[in-house]
Amino acid sequence: MSDNLGTTAPHVSVEPVSVMAPDGTVLDQDFVDTIPEADLVALYEAMLAQRVYDDRMIKMQRQGRLGFYLACTGEEACSYGPAYALQAQDWFYPAYREPGIALWRGMPFQAWIDNMVGNCDDPVKGRQMPVHWTARAQNIVSISSPVGTQIPQCVGSAYAAKLRGDDAVSICFFGEGTSSEGDFHVGLNFAGVWKAPAIFFCRNNGYAISTPYEKTTAAKHIALRAHGYGIRGVVVDGNDILAVIKVVREAAEWGRAGHGATLIEAKTYRIAAHSTSDDPTSYRTREEEAHWGERCPLKRLRAYLETKGLWDEAREQACITASSERVISALGVAEGKPHPDLDTVFDDVFAERPAHLQAQYSELKAHLASGQSAYKPK
């Protein structure tokens, strides 16, 4: 366990953890040295590629080829950092702004794109909106639109791992607005009482869609709430991917050692709109956006890599070009696939289809075979 975790008594630290300053200056060289340079380059390439994917998906939605999209622009460190920090046996419960978890941990890129289109190879079989994916092979549980439902689910799997003696932690992701939901209290209270090895990762980007933080929470920091549940709490600079890796590693060590849960509050900023249904110019100022733009997680890591001679403009453009070609190619494949088979509507709820569903299935098949234009259930 890291030395700076100290006592086994839970504590709350609200001084934001940082490893790199916004200009790329290293503040904690000892920690930087724990990450191979090749990994630092790979993390930057992945975050840069994510920017390209987000831009392409938004354009697709504007063209009417996707129904919906949520970009993670400005918050990339909050998904790629934890994905890098945790281990293969750990479980992830994402919200809808963490595609980096799936892509870094090995979800096939085509499967991720298939979900955006909702075709026959969509991992959730077209039953959810775009950006609501799952990756079972990577221990990533399906995203759900109702905010907060993943928090008690995460605690449940963490506690199950503890009962089984598995060396696994569970991590869930949510925004600061979600911390006002009842599921937040339920999950953290259970984790505190039973010392579940759970990590609660709150992306505090300042807005619950368009509602500013100060209108949803009176406390200066979400992490302060950890004290009331008897768990660790820590604030981290969410635009510093190395700091994110550091605090998630420490939270995992804490949980694996049997000490319980950690609430991480990542101070970050959503550069893009909340979604393709949102217009942030109605509630944010250009000055605010410019301020956070200078603290962009990509700018920070790139500045450091350039000082080490590990990155330059030629590599930047090559990565952008390759990422653009990759996403365009995958979209072309996805759009060429048929919709999910109608039979799948009746699958995946019961191990064996019960009589009432079998009757509905037979009725629907008979109707389709009749060639009538509209289905009117009895």
Active site residues: 270, 274, 283
For the chain, how many residues are written?
A: 378
Amino acid 22 reads P
- CB count in 10 Å sphere of residue 182: 10
Helix locations, the chain, DSSP H: 29-32, 37-62, 77-85, 99-105, 109-117, 150-164, 182-194, 226-229, 241-256, 286-293, 297-307, 313-335, 355-370
Structure token digits, residue 67 = 């129904």
The side-by-side arrangement of strands in the sheet containing 262-267 is 12-17, 232-237, 262-267, 198-204, 170-175, 91-93
- Tell me how far the alpha carbon of residue 77 is from its chain's centroid: 10
Give the residues across from 234 on adjacent strands.
13, 264
Is the Cα torsion angle 292, 184, 146, 132 positive or negative in sign? positive
Is 349 within 8 Å of 135 (Cβ atoms)?
no
Whole-angstrom Cα Rg for the chain? 22
168: three-class secondary structure by DSSP: coil
Chain centroid, CA 100 distance in Å = 7
Distance CA 160, CA 165 (A): 8
Q: What is the DSSP letter of 214?
A: G
Q: 219: which DSSP letter?
A: S
